[in-house]
Amino acid sequence: MKERKCQQKEVFKRSEGDRYYQRNKIKLEKMLKSWKNDPIIHTISGLDIHPQSILEIGCSDGWRLHALGDCYKSRCFGIDPSGEAIQEGINRFPELSLQRATADEIPYANEMFDLVIFGFCLYLCDRMDLFKIACEVDRVLMNQGKLIILDFLPPFPYRNAYVHCSGIFSYKMNYSNLFLWNPAYYLIYQRVFACLPEKKHIPDERISVIALNKDTKWAYPDNPY
């Protein structure tokens, strides 16, 4: 019998999630201090969205949710596979509701959020979980809610070896396509950039922030013919 390959989710829950958080602590602190320049927060502000209930998937210690809660007086919830990140977030930002969890099993009620954020995490998710992840997000996102995705945006799907852990891959693709096949979702905003501006035109360095609207009422209009 062929041995089942260990899922990336399991690796991140067991150890790599905490290591990822430890490697990026200094960077996260800098991002909190300059939160107005964050591409997700900038997108929310530019679209004049005033969310009442926010879920961030891949929230780390909740620094972005803390900034959003201060700005919009929203109820803020976050999930992340790193137990260390979640615990430090609970200690540091007690106003947030943070849980250790993954996107394929979101521990919240149906239609609970008017804004769901993917905080640069889909590229590390198991491919077998993508349909479950899309289903779970659709379940917790209320109608007329917004979905914001921050992730890589290459010209076509491919993978790179994940340099920090053997056997793990970074999967790069346009993750908005997980939702745009459904007529209830449509694009309202997209910006493409790179961590270093001079690398914007290198396909492997391209990152995007994409905003979608969910509208089930008008997804299937009456037959026009």
Structural domain that includes position 112: 8-214
As a whole number of angstroms, the distance between CA 77 and CA 113 comes to: 9
Give, in order, the Cα–Cα distances in Å from 191 to each of 130, 146, 157.
23, 16, 18
Domain count, the chain: 1
> Is 17 within the bounds of a domain?
yes
6: pLDDT confidence band, cut at 50, 70 and 90? low
**Does the structure show a pLDDT above 90 at 3?**
no
The CATH number covering residue 161 comes to 3.40.50.150
Nearest alpha-carbon partner for 51 in 64, 33, 61, 63? 64
> Is 220 within the bounds of a domain?
no
> Is 224 within the bounds of a domain?
no
Which residue shows structure tokens 């879920």?
Answer: 55
**Does the structure show a pLDDT above 70 at 190?**
yes
- pLDDT tens sequence across 15-25: 999 999 999 99
